[in-house]
Amino acid sequence: MTDPVPADGGHVVYGLLSLAGADVALPLSALREVVPAPEAFADLPVRTPGLLGAMLLRGVPLPVLDLRPLLGSPTVRADDQVVVIIADGERQLGLLADEVRGITRVAVEDRRTVRAAGAVLLFSHTVRHAETDAVVSVLDVDAVLALPGVPTVDLGRPAAEPSSAHVPSAALRTLTLLRCGTQVLALDVDFVHTTLAGATSRPSVLAGGACLGVTDVAGREVAVIDPLRVLGLGALPQEGLDLGAGVVLDLGHGYVVLAVSAVLDIVRIPAGDVLPVPGFSVGRPDLVAGIADVEGRGQCLVLDGTALQAEQGLVTYASVNTVLPGHPDGDRDGTAAAVASRTAPAYLTYSVGVDVASRLDQVVEILPYPPSWTPTNVGENVLGILVHRSAAVPVLHLPAILGQPRSTPDRSTCLLLVEVDGEQIAFVVDALRGIDSLTWQEPGPDGGPPAPAAVPSSARALRSAPLIGVGGSGKLLPDLDLPAIARRVRAETSPGSRAGRRAGAPVVGARA
């Protein structure tokens, strides 16, 4: 059957379709392209259940089959249906489908073979869509092409016009076409981890700039990104905030979701059809591989997948994926924890009355400001205890700790969750500024990164913090070591330290 197994036993890439009322997967090796369905089909001198007739594809009559009569499903036509061209290397056939859902990668061991006694099935496997938990049936292309009385087209016959089916596979590019508002973008399928149909983004403290909010992907809370903002092409229309679809990019250490209005097609075109564009004519020429005129879809910008995976803004957003509690796939591959970016450490910039920065890998999670917590009255800087994910988390007011004025909490106020010696501590901060990479720091004596600065006391932590450069503004910010500050506050507010301060004695037992 046309369902190739990788030599390394890894993953199989499938195109996802809605066909005959079911979610269907096609091995990408058997999926040639997707084209709009014509209003009517030409009659063929053969009568077979489900055979609609023929359509012209670049001058070649192509038989088209509707599987619904074979499956006992209703056969009402819709205006926006598509024809999926399948092939086994020698023959090709068109299948009527409702829509394209994108692509997904499925581990070989996660597929389940299906059989039926005394019957020929058109589906070889069932799989679970890792992001949506939907049951997806893998179409057996060989079984479809072998249906009695169903005509197919010999790929070896000459076509009236050049067809991508006659171009060597090494010279072809398989692209996922994406609509973002009125803009059509294309991305090589190799760079698409999977797609989400009907996903929604929800508010988050990360929202701002290119980030629209967050959504759930494979047990993680993942940033949803407006690709038009990243590419300098404007912004998605307001309805883009409720995603028509999402394209998941795997950046190696985390995911981001590109918000799109719709996944349009999966097409194969000759690589030479992707034409370079002058650099001055696009906002981010480093992220654009070229432009292509795709039959039936018009012109589209083809994105550079490798450059997208290395784009610093996407890299830093991918590094703050948060594992959702209790999800079986939450840390399946061990990459869910936030890590520094590939090229330079990522920093979170935020306000504590003044703008400061901390290494992003010090922050376990970013939480909205809670409506309430349990007060403990152990000191002016320890506000109380918050229960979060079945753990008791002390809440510390970071501006007050650093000697800054206390501001009235508003919707910009949030908590930075830090893990210290196996315990979690939440710091109240006034507002988030952004996520940026390190651009400058004073080198250490050996020319490498400097050793962590000591925190002599929590009140002096801001004044003693080294200055660093982050992002492209050229502004220097204090580099706050949040775990070190947490340890210092913990030592200063321990029972012995509080008793000593009440008696006028010096602080004892403090440690950096």
pLDDT of residue 220: 84
pLDDT of residue 402: 95
Is the pLDDT at 60 greater than 50? The verdict is yes
DSSP of 89-114, one letter per residue?
SSEEEEEEESEEEEEEEEEGGG-EE-
pLDDT of residue 472: 63
pLDDT of residue 481: 95
Output 199 or 99, whichever has higher pLDDT: 99
Pick the CATH number of 346-502 from 1.10.510.10, 3.40.50.2300, 2.40.50.180, 3.40.50.1260: 2.40.50.180
Over residues 15-29, the mean pLDDT reads 82
Instruction: Kindly state which CATH superfamily the domain 11-166 is placed in.
Output: CheA-289, Domain 4 (2.40.50.180)
| pLDDT tens digit sequence for 285-323 | 999 999 999 887 889 999 999 999 999 889 888 888 887
CATH architecture of 170-323: Beta Barrel (2.40)
pLDDT of residue 240: 46
| pLDDT tens digit sequence for 437-464 | 788 888 777 766 777 777 878 888 998 8
For residues 272 and 274, what is the distance between their CA atoms, to the nearest angstrom? 5
Q: Check if the beta carbon of residue 478 is closer than 8 Å to that of residue 469.
A: no
The reported pTM is 0.62
Tokens of 75: 């056969």
Is the pLDDT at 401 greater than 70? The verdict is yes
Q: What percent of the chain has pLDDT over 70?
A: 84
Is the pLDDT at 80 greater than 50? The verdict is yes
Is the pLDDT at 275 greater than 90? The verdict is yes
Over residues 158-166, the mean pLDDT reads 43
> Worst-scoring range by mean pLDDT, 164-168, 178-182, 278-282?
164-168
Per-range mean pLDDT, top range of 48-57, 224-233, 234-243, 244-253:
224-233
For the chain, where do the domains classified as CATH 2.40.50.180 start and end? 11-166, 170-323, 346-502
Is the pLDDT at 218 greater than 60? The verdict is yes
Residue 509: pLDDT band by 50, 70, 90 thresholds? very low
pLDDT of residue 496: 60
Q: Is the dihedral of CA 183, 189, 195, 197 positive or negative?
A: positive
| pLDDT tens digit sequence for 368-395 | 899 889 998 887 889 999 998 888 999 9
Is the pLDDT at 502 greater than 80? The verdict is no
Tokens of 404: 């800054």
Instruction: State the chain's mean pLDDT as an integer.
Output: 80
DSSP of 296-358, one letter per residue?
TTEEEEEE-HHHHHH-HHHHHHHTT-EEPTT-TTTTTTS--S----SSS-EEEEEESSSEEEE
Is the pLDDT at 32 greater than 60? The verdict is yes
pLDDT of residue 326: 61
pLDDT of residue 74: 74
Q: Which residues of 396-409 are buried (b: 16+ CB within 10 A; e: fewer)?
A: bbbbbbbebeeeee
pLDDT of residue 378: 81
